[in-house]
């Protein structure tokens, strides 16, 4: 992965399984402010295009993804997460 700017992350992956074609996968995530992230990606063998959006606020995160092409055709994916705050460890004198 490579993060050329703050709030932008790109990923490139090459995978090969015995008896199958080489798969090239790439994607990017763009932070739009502190609350919203936009995502996009592509894959070969089978050819697939994906796009998504992530929203987060106060430890709560909601994600939506759309995939077009491939074995399953058009699919929608949803995710929900919550990050619990860690208690601060007080240092002993």
Q: What is the pLDDT along the chain (93 residues), one digit of tens a residue?
A: 999 889 999 999 999 999 999 999 999 999 999 999 999 999 998 899 999 999 999 999 999 999 998 778 899 999 999 999 876 655 555
CA 75 vs CA 48, 67, 78, 82: distances in Å = 11, 5, 10, 24
Helices (H) and strands (E) in the chain, counts: 0, 7
pTM here is 0.79
Lookup: tokens for 39: 């995502």
Question: Hey, which residues does 39 pair with through a beta bridge?
Answer: 29, 52
H helix intervals, the chain: none
């Amino acid at each position: 992965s490579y993060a050329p700017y703050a709030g932008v992350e790109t990923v490139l992956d090459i995978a090969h399984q015995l008896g199958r074609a080489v798969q090239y996968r790439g994607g990017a995530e763009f932070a739009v402010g502190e609350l919203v992230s936009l995502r996009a990606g592509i894959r070969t063998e089978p050819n697939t295009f994906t796009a998504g959006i992530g929203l987060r606020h106060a430890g709560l995160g909601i994600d939506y993804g759309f995939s077009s092409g491939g074995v399953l055709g058009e699919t929608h994916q949803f995710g929900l997460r919550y990050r619990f705050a860690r208690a601060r460890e007080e240092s002993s004198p």
